[in-house]
Amino acid sequence: MTDEPTIVPVGGNADATVVPSSGSPFGRPSGHLAPGTSLGAFRLTRVLGEGGFGVVYEAEQEKPVRRTVAVKLLKPGMDTAEVLIRFEGERQALARMEHPCVAKVLDAGVTPDGRPFFAMEFVRGEPLLAFADRERLTVPERIDLMLRVCEAIQHAHAKGVVHRDLKPANILCSRTESGIFPKVVDFGIAKATVDRLSDSTVATMGGQIMGTPDYMSPEQADGADVDTRADVYSLGASLYELLAGLLPFDPAELRAKGMSAMRQRILEAVPPRPSERLAALVRADAAAARAVAEARRTTPDALLRQLRDDLDWICLRCLEKDRDRRYASPSELASDLRRHQARLPVSAGPPSGAYVVRKFVSRHRYGVSAAAVAVGMLLAGVVTFAWLYREAESQRRLADDTLQAFQQSIAAVDPTGGKANAGMGALDFLRLVEEELDGRLERQPGALASMRQALGTARLSFKDADGSGRLFEQVVAARRIERDAKPGRAADLLLGEALHNLGRSRYYADRFGDAKAAYAEALTLRRGALGDADGAEVAMTLQHLAATERRLGDIESAMRLIDESVAMWTRIAPDSRERYQAVNNRGTVREQAGLLADAERDYVDALRVMERTRGKDDPLVARTLMNIAGVRAKQGRSADAIEPLERAASIYALRFGESHADTVAATEELARARAAAQLH
For the segment 533-539, the average pLDDT, to the nearest whole number, is 86
Give alpha helix (H) positions in 36-165. Answer: 81-96, 128-134, 139-158
Residue 564 lies in a domain: no
Does 391 score more than 70 pLDDT?
A: no
- pLDDT tens string 310-342: 899 999 999 999 888 899 999 999 999 998 888
> How far is residue 341 from each of residues 190, 318, 368, 469, measured CA to CA in Å?
31, 18, 20, 38
User: In terms of domains, do 280 and 309 share one?
Assistant: yes
Catalytic residues: 165
- Range of the structural domain that residue 36 is part of: 1-124
Q: Are residues 270 and 293 in the same domain?
A: yes
227 and 107 share a domain?
no
**Is there a single domain that holds both residue 154 and residue 40?**
no
Domain total of the chain: 2
Q: Do 235 and 276 share a domain, yes or no?
A: yes
CA distance 173 to 240: 18
Domain membership flag for residue 427: no
Q: Which of 333, 349, 365 finishes a domain?
A: 349
User: Which of 73, 94, 124 is the endpoint of a domain?
Assistant: 124
What pLDDT is recorded for position 280?
92
Q: Is residue 240 part of a domain?
A: yes
Cβ neighbours for 209, distance < 8 A, ≥ 6 positions apart: 216, 220, 221, 223, 259, 263
Report pLDDT for 222: 83
Residues 132, 114 within the same domain: no
Residue 60 domain flag:
yes
- Of the listed ranges 43-57, 72-86, 200-214, the one predicted with least confidence: 200-214
Ranges 94-103, 216-225, 502-511, most confident: 502-511
Most distant pair of Cα atoms in the chain: their distance: 90
CATH code, 215:
1.10.510.10
The answer to whether residue 602 sits within a structural domain is: no
* 114 shares its domain with 185: no
> Cα-Cα-Cα-Cα dihedral of 456, 460, 462, 464, to 10°?
90
Q: Tell me, yes or no, whether 28 and 168 share the same domain.
A: no
User: What is the per-residue pLDDT for 463?
Assistant: 78
Helix (H) / strand (E) element for 43: namely: strand 42-50
Q: Identify whether 418 is part of a domain.
A: no
- Answer yes or no: do 285 and 145 share one domain: yes
Tell me whether residue 289 is in a domain: yes
> Do 3 and 14 lie in a common domain?
yes
Q: What is the CATH number of the domain that holds 26?
A: 3.30.200.20
How many Cα atoms occupy the beta-carbon half-sphere of 342 within 13 Å? 19
Question: What pLDDT, on the 0 to 100 scale, is given for residue 56?
Answer: 86
Identify the pLDDT of residue 210. 55
Let me know the angle formed at the C-alpha of 582 by 340 and 228, rounded to the nearest 5 degrees.
55
Question: Are residue 45 and residue 113 in the same domain, yes or no?
Answer: yes
**Residue ending a domain, choose from 300, 319, 349:** 349
What is the b/e burial string over 149-164, where b = at least 16 CB atoms within 10 angstroms of the residue's CB? bbbbbbbbbbbbbbbb
Task: Assess if residue 575 is contained within a domain.
Answer: no
Do residues 184 and 252 share a domain? yes
Identify the pLDDT of residue 431: 66
